[in-house]
Chains A and B, each alone.
Chain A
Amino acid sequence: MTEPLLEVRNLVQEFHTNAGVVQAVSGVSFDVRPGETLGIVGETGSGKSTLARSVLQAPRPTSGEVIFRGTDLTTLRGTRLLQARRHLQMVFQDPFGSLDPKWTVRDLVEEPLIAYKTGRKNERRQRVDDLLELVGLDPASHGRRRPRELSGGQAQRVAIARAIALNPALIVCDEAVSSLDVLIQAQVLNLFERLRAELGLSYLFIAHDLALVKQVSDRVAVMYLGRLCEAGPGESVYREPLHPYTRALLDSVPSTDKHSTDKHSTATKRAPTTISGEPPSPVHPPSGCRFRTRCPRAQEVCAAEQPPMRELATGHTVACHFPLVEPAGPAAAGGPGSRAAAGGPGSRAAAGGPGSRAAARTTVRSDEKIEGTPR
């Protein structure tokens, strides 16, 4: 297996506020391999944006390791951090907020080149023009404009051009298309795909829109209140979600496909949602599994013990004491409480995974991290 480009181990980020200690990220681990896109899905308060910024050391995480191209960024300071971070860039949600309103488009895209002292002035200018063309902007007409003279889509393209200026290996997209209109969003997404193909980029794509994340990602991780619930290949997570929260998210997504419009004919227009209540406060997260206060399958053990991340299908891991064993509505959620049920997917021949509960535990490979180890 190729070396992962980015390895995050047990990342913890806490903020001290007047209300208490906000446990924004509590032990998250994942890999991003070269050339792949890892999508992270989560709602407000899940900690996904904090996760993105912690990976970039802005601010430095409270604990954990962020190993990028073999170097742990958390141990670096100053110039050494700058050098190591050169190939790790970010595109933000608000296209206008991430561009200095007083700077011109050219200056904005040139900034990283100047900071890392790449080339002479005319070489840099040429590179800026090339970058602008690469993202679909005309250097002659857009180069001298200021952000307020651009549309949302154009501003985001400038941000992307800036992000790829130094030929990064990995780009973190923090809700990068969420504030764009549908058609512009599609254009920018296509741009991301094109750059991925042409420049061999990897992405860490963070968003709250599940369909969006699935569209761009090879693998998807679902985050809730600072921890990962589930991670795996996109198709696998969406077709056979193992975590009740993932199931609830999928059920809540309004969709234009035929299946949902057929629901019109029934008296209730939507399948009843399988999630209730309000998200708990990140200052006092629930003990054990953080989702238990809203989970229809929660039992005592969920409060007592934090569920470890286990692999139940090929490359598909879940942190749940009672994972879902088949895609279903409430009826098929079946009886929680039995570990045997949890071992069920392990016996699915199609998944080609472990054949029994015992095997499900022991097939955790030695080089795989156990995420969310009880602390």
Chain B
Amino acid sequence: MSARAYSPPWRRTIGYVLLGVFALVYLGPFLIQIATSFKTDTDAANHSLSLVPHPVDLGAWKRIFGYTPNSGVPFGRWLFNSTLVATCITLGRVFLDSLAGYALARLRFPGRKAIFLLVLSVLAVPPVVLLIPRFLVLKELSLYNSYSGMILPICADATGIFLMRQFFVQIPVAVEEAARIDGAGIWRTYWDVVLPLARPGLITLTILSFQGSWNEFSYFLIATSDPKYNTLTTGLAKFSSGSLGSGTQYPVTLGAALLSTIPVAILFFVFQRQFVSGQLSASTKG
């Protein structure tokens, strides 16, 4: 341990106070969100800061789950779409990105340098710039308004390829050479020998891909217009003023938003360590 093992108590108190204040700032909005979903519209408007509904009203939740004559929230559909699409995209990315990353790191084939340069330059393209262009391509390929259109175009990405390549490059060549000497073919070397060693990278990629595709909004916005393809993100955005006319019924809106957050919150708390370490290694590798 270090030479200085003592910190004056007043400094520690300040530390805790600061941490507490910031924790309140970072978690406060969620608490207010939960409380508001149990308020009536007028209560929410008049006592927006209070964490105690007055009276406790389940109207918003009843509406969300379809127990009122007003249109409910097709939450089940949104959840299904989000899960399906996010899972497919994540699987696609993990599989395809690591294949491509390995090829760029370790296999010699014509055009390797050119392809790597292409990957690098694509990294520089801001995703938002691609919104309209992708819409155009989807339209031309008749993939608009379909699950394929939501999944295929982003089931491999330059960032993931680059990330996996960096991981693979750092695995000692000796490992592969040993496998080769043992008689393993290229696929066997990759699948059984190298891939397990790149596990941190794979986990990182999985977490990042899942988080990214689960929360993806702008791409799904331009890839579909039929409400049956709405995910938790697009469904919520369109619901927040579509079904409610131009009124501002916040308890319902916030309740629906809360529901969309719950799946990813659960995943986060369960896989917390992986989320955090994935974020860290992505930042240092990338």
- Is B one of A's binding partners? no
Which B residues form the contact surface with A (CB < 8 A)? none
